[in-house]
């Protein structure tokens, strides 16, 4: 087992996971980036993930998942994405954009690849502050997943400890962006919009656009990603 | 939420999961059966799973998983399946037929479907006695998975408790077969061989065939599945 430590990084094409990848590299890991094609209505997320991986990862794997087989969610089925005029309209309700058991499924693929690679580290850009409606973004979920993972694998049985890193979990969107800029993340290669135009421009009014805009405002810098309204 | 309770049952085509499905039905559940196509070298397993599901399940879903993307295992790559002359040659080594994080990935899909169905019960035919080499067949793994799953989902957040049933976990193969026969399982529609002939006959010498043969001998009954040697 020569060379640097390996980490599997879950990459969505969004700004959180791009920042998590930069943190992994900054901590000395060689990055093995993994993304998922799961019936998204837009391919722009995977294009962004691939651009980021080309710049920063040793390998990049896209796993095909047909989550549509399980039924509804605004990100994967024909339900309208909710639009708002401001971030104050967001509620504590669990969003309709929730994909069933998404992080559980994604982490399970990451675990399988980590086991094959001999990697003991997985990075995931979950955030408990800005997305409190998703149960599988909470610290207690991640802790329980890590405990399970250490009982699931041959490496775990042999006493190697697998760690799931969530470096963004308690940061605000503004803090995440500031940290990423310090580490050289190119946020032009990230997309956040749930309902982008065919050329990749963001709608500016979905939950995710509102949180992103507020984050760049709080970080005091310009969002390099184009919006429909200019 | 009218009607009977729903349970997702993981169905492999083998005799353990067929028995687990019969137990779920006997406990009053409507069965939603899920199988996986993951680069098996033989299609006979899925044929058996489908035959069982047609007889006993409300719905049957096959999820495509490309585990070959992660690399080697005798069940999914070009490594020879080990053959033995008797069950006494089996060791405590973790078998080369191990698929990385398999049950973690399978249970994650079952969890996603359970969430969409509004089901609080998942059945998996893992067995800790006959397959002690697989870390993800142990009771402590299942307990940790169940705890994680209850933190992962909207249902869990709302206080519904998800249970992972492992009715076979402490039974011998002979006891499993006896129980299944009492519940009317048709074991002719199950396959266990790691290396069957193209017509579905079992090799009779792989680890799995040896355990199956011993199980039917212990249960004192004939295995209805054909073997190459007749």
Tens-digit pLDDT profile for residues B28-68: 999 999 998 876 666 889 999 999 999 999 999 998 887 65
Decide if pLDDT at A82 tops 90. Answer: no
Task: State the count of interchain CB pairs (< 8 A) between A and B.
Answer: 126
Confidence of residue B194 (pLDDT cuts 50, 70, 90): confident
Q: Does B109 touch chain A (CB under 8 A)?
A: yes
Helices (H), B93-159: 102-117, 139-152, 154-157
Residue (of B43, B4, B45) closest to B25 by Cα position = B4
Decide if pLDDT at A79 tops 80. Answer: no
Confidence of residue A11 (pLDDT cuts 50, 70, 90): very high
Q: Is residue A80 part of a domain?
A: yes
Q: By mean pLDDT, which of A172-181, A189-198, B86-95, B115-124 is the weakest?
A: B86-95
State how far residue B39 is from chain A, nearest Cα, in angstroms.
Answer: 14
Decide if pLDDT at B100 tops 70. Answer: yes
Residues A28-41 have a mean pLDDT of 86
Q: In what order do the strands lie in the sheet with B121-123?
A: B59-64, B30-37, B6-10, B121-123, B163-165
- pLDDT for res A85: 67
Per the model's pLDDT, the better-predicted residue between A115 and A183 turns out to be A183
- pLDDT for res B134: 80
Q: Does B67 touch chain A (CB under 8 A)?
A: yes
Chain B CB contacts of A154 under 8 Å are 94, 98, 135
Total domain count, chain A: 1
Q: Does A64 touch chain B (CB under 8 A)?
A: yes
**pTM of the shown model:** 0.87
Decide if pLDDT at B74 tops 80. Answer: no
Decide if pLDDT at A51 tops 90. Answer: yes
Residue A75 maps to which CATH number?
3.40.50.620
Q: Which of residues 11-30 of A touch B (CB under 8 A)?
A: none
Cα B78 to Cα B212: distance, rounded to the nearest angstrom? 24
Q: By mean pLDDT, which of A87-91, A184-188, B216-220 is the weakest?
A: A87-91
Residues A96-115 have a mean pLDDT of 84
Q: Spell out the residues 6+ positions from residue A217 whose beta carbon is closer than 8 angstroms to its own.
A: A174
Q: Is the ipTM of this complex over 0.90?
A: no
Decide if pLDDT at A102 tops 70. Answer: yes
* Per-residue model confidence as pLDDT tens digits over A139-167: 999 999 999 999 998 777 788 899 999 99
Q: Is residue B154 part of a domain?
A: yes
Q: What's the whole-number average pLDDT of chain B?
A: 85
Q: Is residue A230 part of a domain?
A: no
Confidence of residue B88 (pLDDT cuts 50, 70, 90): low
- Give the strand pairing for A30-37 and A6-10: parallel
Residue (of B101, B110, B184) closest to B153 by Cα position = B110
Decide if pLDDT at A109 tops 50. Answer: yes
Q: Strand, helix or coil at A216? A: helix
Contact A101 B94 (CB under 8 A): no
- pLDDT for res A94: 44
Q: Is residue A32 part of a domain?
A: yes
Confidence of residue B92 (pLDDT cuts 50, 70, 90): very low
- pLDDT for res A170: 93
Confidence of residue B155 (pLDDT cuts 50, 70, 90): confident
Q: Does B105 touch chain A (CB under 8 A)?
A: yes
Q: Strand, helix or coil at B219? A: helix
- pLDDT for res A200: 87
For chain B, give the percent of residues with pLDDT over 70.
80
Q: Strand, helix or coil at A157? A: helix
Adjacent-strand bridge partners of A35:
A62
Q: Is residue A229 part of a domain?
A: no
- pLDDT for res A75: 41
Q: Is residue B54 part of a domain?
A: yes
Decide if pLDDT at A74 tops 50. Answer: no
Please identify which residue in the block is written with the tokens 């390099």. Answer: A224
Check: CB of residue B147 under 8 Å from CB of residue A104. no
Decide if pLDDT at A39 tops 70. Answer: no
Contact B72 A116 (CB under 8 A): yes
Residue (of B108, B80, B133, B144) closest to B8 by Cα position = B108
Domain assignment of residue B41, given as a range: 6-219
Q: Is residue A92 part of a domain?
A: yes
For chain B, give the percent of residues with pLDDT over 90.
60
Residues B157-186 have a mean pLDDT of 94
Chain B CB contacts of A141 under 8 Å are 148, 151-152
Decide if pLDDT at B89 tops 70. Answer: no
Please give the torsion angle defined by the CA atoms of residues A37, A40, A44 and A46, in that order, rounded to the nearest 10 degrees: -10
- pLDDT for res B76: 42
- pLDDT for res B83: 63
Q: Is residue B229 part of a domain?
A: no
């Amino acid at each position: 087992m020569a060379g640097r430590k390996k980490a599997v990084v879950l990459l969505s094409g969004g700004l959180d996971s791009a920042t998590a990848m930069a943190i992994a590299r900054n901590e000395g890991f060689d990055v093995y980036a993994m993304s998922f094609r799961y019936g998204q209505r837009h391919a722009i997320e995977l294009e962004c993930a691939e651009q980021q991986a080309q710049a920063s990862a040793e390998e990049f794997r896209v796993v095909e998942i047909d989550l549509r087989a399980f039924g509804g969610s605004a990100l994967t089925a024909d339900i309208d994405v909710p639009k708002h005029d401001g971030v104050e309209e967001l509620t504590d309700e669990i969003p309709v954009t929730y994909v069933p058991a998404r992080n559980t499924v994604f982490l399970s693929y990451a675990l399988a690849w980590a086991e094959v690679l001999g990697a003991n580290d997985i990075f995931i850009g979950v955030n408990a502050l800005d997305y409190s409606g998703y149960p599988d973004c909470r610290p207690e979920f991640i802790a329980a997943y890590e405990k399970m993972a250490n009982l699931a694998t041959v490496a775990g049985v042999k006493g190697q400890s697998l760690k799931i890193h969530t470096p963004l979990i308690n940061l605000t969107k503004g803090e995440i962006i500031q940290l990423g800029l310090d580490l050289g993340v190119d946020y032009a290669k990230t997309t956040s919009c749930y309902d982008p135009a065919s050329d990749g421009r963001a709608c500016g009014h979905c939950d995710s656009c509102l949180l992103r805009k507020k984050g760049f405002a709080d970080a005091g810098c310009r969002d390099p990603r184009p919006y429909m309204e200019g």
